[in-house]
Amino acid sequence: MCGIVGYVGGKNAQDFLISGLKRLEYRGYDSAGIVTLNAEGKATLVRAKGKISNLEEKLAQNKTSDKIGIGHTRWATHGEPSETNAHPHKAGPLYLVHNGIIENYKELKAELKDFEFKSETDSEVLAALIESFYRDGNYPLVNAVVQALKLVKGTYGIAVISELQPEEIVVARSGSPLVIGVGHDETLIASDASALVGHTKRAIYLNDGEVAVVTAKSIEVKTLNAEPVSAKVEEIETNLAAIQKGGYEHFLLKEIMEQPNTLTETLRGRVNAEQGTVHLGGPGLTEAELRKIQHLVIVGCGTAYHAGLLASYYIEQFVPEITIETVIASEYRYRNAYIPDNSVALIVSQSGETADTLACLREIKKQGVRTVGIVNAIGSTISREVDGGTYVHVGPEISVASTKAFTSQVIAMVIFGLTIAQAKGVRSTMLRPYISEIAKLPEEIAKVLSEAEEQVKAITKKYHELEHAIYLGRDTAYPTAMEGALKLKEISYIDANAYAFGELKHGPLALVDDKYFEIALLPVGELYDKAVSNLQEVLARGGKVIAVTNNDKFDLPVENVVKITTELEIFAPILMNIVLQLFAYYITVAKGLNVDQPRNLAKSVTVE
Ligand code: G6P
């Protein structure tokens, strides 16, 4: 939530700040701002409501050659999106950008009686608080920042500069990510490493409770208690191509199309189809520990939650005597739920920064339960705090709606389930079909992508004006339907909900009328006939049905059908999900909406 950037060095600060903000725009896009200082400390502050492009237009009239500055792209929490509420916030000679939430801002504000607040934000309160310690101008900025942060409850990633010290930036983090890019005679700041790509390959990931003073030539990291930290400089693995659209009109389409490759990366070195075995090093569990597992808790939000749900359906099929509970992180963290002995918690998160998921991880660790991360963003907070983990390695996912991460999260968790099954001595004949289908999946996804795209495009034109959709599936196709419905509502704003086919008659059937359309997932398998019977109930009531199936003999009188040809049976729902991703994409394009940055949403939700 919110992206922050900073620059100090020999180049034009505005150039990096604006390009960095564009890369972070996925984190929030309701307003943005930049402040730079010249060598004498004179500030140029430019803020704009709306997208970074609005800020860019305003900057054209306020060009500077300043060599130090900070910037921010906002996702509103306190106060409506407006120029006044946009960051950087000014307090005396100080400017601050903040990502996170100051929970006790009201109490702090009440104490800051002589400060004239201009915005409704919690962040301006933090700026004013720091300034109250800095006021006489000869107090080192970092000390004022530390004094203020000791009084703060909540989460923050901040960058602060002062007109009186126009050669340094003070940054700090607690609960919101902050990366320091180490350049040649320049230092860069960003909420995530993608903003640094192309500028430097070396980065320091600040930990919670750390504060740093950075200049063009130095980086000094300390704890809030003034203990020096010898920060580790790490290599940024992302390359420029991974964060560009690569010829596609939208990141979402690029990310959907990338899935044959990204899934191949997830599988690399982990699946041996010839031997019929899987191997995962990252979770760090011994054979004996894997054998003992009797219970899995899978935690996530949004798409990550759906990935967990789908994986649980699969893992239950082949791991004997195991219970699996897949939970929504924002609920679970307050449930006081009992986790039995011999449990492992899988913490699923693309960004590795989602506040609710992170809070759950911390709660679960308090109970002494072993935690395993299923994370994409390398070096993210969750990946650092779990006991062990598996990166899904899908590269940067930039479009707000998650696609390629979902596919790889499901399969990574299934592979984890297979390692448990192997350790428990499940017969290899039982596991082989799963392993062999997983190995074929990237190729099958490529086939579906080329086969389904035109079919989907043709259909979406007929439905984009309807306002309601019902997604239906049974068994593994049910979590798939949930994810499909989420994708559609996130980006096209069509009110889409998913139901288990068997639940139709208990309520949702009453909705079927000409304002709705229904998407029926019909994978060939044990429950195919039952799903078809449920579908007949919809057809009998005049439902406008789009069927998605891998049954080449499918001939029910539905309005439209998307047929996929695949030799896979177990993982056909994963292929159907790819169809649903394309469907959501093309409907949104037909509606002329912003595909990559849907209204009100952000990619990485670092607030509760
Ligand atoms: C946000 C995103 C979703 C994502 C969810 C969880 O809501 O818009 O696409 O599924 O957060 O994110 P995570 O990074 O933890 O997977």
* Residue 357 Cα: closest atom of ligand 1: 15
Dihedral over alpha carbons 285, 291, 296, 299 (to 10 degrees): 20
The DSSP code for 564 is -
In this predicted structure, what is the pLDDT of residue 138? Answer: 57
CA 300 to ligand 1: nearest atom: 15
Report pLDDT for 241: 84
Is the C-beta atom of 350 inside 6 A of ligand 1? yes
Report mean pLDDT in 10-residue bins for the chain, 608 residues. 93 97 86 97 96 93 96 87 93 96 95 94 96 81 95 95 96 94 97 92 95 98 94 89 89 97 96 95 94 98 98 96 96 90 97 94 95 93 94 93 98 98 96 97 97 93 91 98 98 97 92 93 96 94 95 95 94 98 97 93 81
Domains in the chain, CATH or no CATH each: 3-243 (3.60.20.10), 245-426 (3.40.50.10490), 451-594 (3.40.50.10490)
Q: To the nearest 10°, the Cα dihedral for 452, 453, 457, 459?
A: 10
Ligand 1 contact via 303 beta carbon (within 6 Å): yes
In eight-state DSSP terms, residue 207 is P
**Å from CA of 355 to ligand 1 middle:** 10
User: Ligand 1 within 6 A of 605 CB?
Assistant: yes
Q: What three-state secondary structure class fits 159?
A: strand
Q: Closest by alpha carbon to 380, among 360, 412, 409, 351?
A: 351
Choose the residue to mutate in 25, 27, 303, 482 for probing ligand 1, maximizing ligand atoms within 8 Å of C-beta: 303
Interval between CA 80 and ligand 1 midpoint (Å): 22
Ligand 1 pocket, residue 27 CB under 6 Å: no
Residue 108 beta carbon below 6 angstroms from any ligand 1 atom: no
Angle at 216 between CA 214 and CA 222, to 5 degrees: 20
Residue 489 CB–ligand 1 contact under 6 Å: no
Q: What would the two tokens of residue 72 be?
A: 């921010």
- Alpha-carbon torsion 344, 349, 350, 353, what sign? negative
Q: Which residue, by CA, sits nearest to atom 5 of ligand 1?
A: 302
CA–centroid distance, 320 to ligand 1, in Å, is 31
Q: Which residue, by CA, sits nearest to atom 15 of ligand 1?
A: 349
Ligand 1 atom closest to 601 (CA): 8
226-231: long-range contacts (C-beta < 8 A, 24 or more apart)? 226/146, 231/180, 231/204, 231/206
What is the per-residue pLDDT for 309?
98
> What does the CA dihedral 188, 189, 191, 196 come to, rounded to 10 degrees?
0
pLDDT at res. 96: 98
Catalytically active residues, by annotation: 2, 603
Which atom of ligand 1 lies nearest, measured to the CA of 400? 8
Q: Which amino acid is at 219?
A: I
Q: Ligand 1, residues 605, 606, 607: which to mutate, most atoms within 8 A of Cβ?
A: 605
At residue 429's C-alpha, the angle toward residues 425 and 434, to 5°, is 95
pLDDT score of 136 = 67
Ligand 1 centroid–CA 303 distance in Å is 6
Separation of 325 CA from ligand 1 center, angstroms? 19
pLDDT of residue 137: 64
Ligand 1 atom closest to the Cα of residue 490 is 8
Q: In sequence order, what DSSP letters do the residues of 219-252 get, joined into one string?
A: EEEEETT--B--PPPEE----GGGGS-TT-SSHH
Please say whether the beta carbons of 582 and 456 come within 8 A.
yes
CA nearest ligand 1 atom 3, residue: 302
| Ligand 1 centroid – CA 435 distance (Å) | 28
349 lines ligand 1 (CB under 6 A): yes
| Ligand 1 binding pocket includes 302 (Cβ within 6 Å) | yes
Helices 13-24 and 52-60 pack at an angle, to 10 degrees, of 160
Residue 407, ligand 1, Cβ within 6 A? no
Please tell me the distance from the alpha carbon of residue 448 to that of residue 460, in angstroms, as a whole number: 17
Give me 341's structure tokens: 């002995």
The CA distance from 536 to 23, in Å, is 48
Choosing from 1, 194, 299, 351 the residue with most ligand 1 atoms within 8 A of its CB, the one to mutate for a pocket test is 351
Residue type, 310: L
Q: Are 94 and 161 in contact (CB under 8 A)?
A: yes
Q: CB of 228 within 8 A of CB of 211? A: no
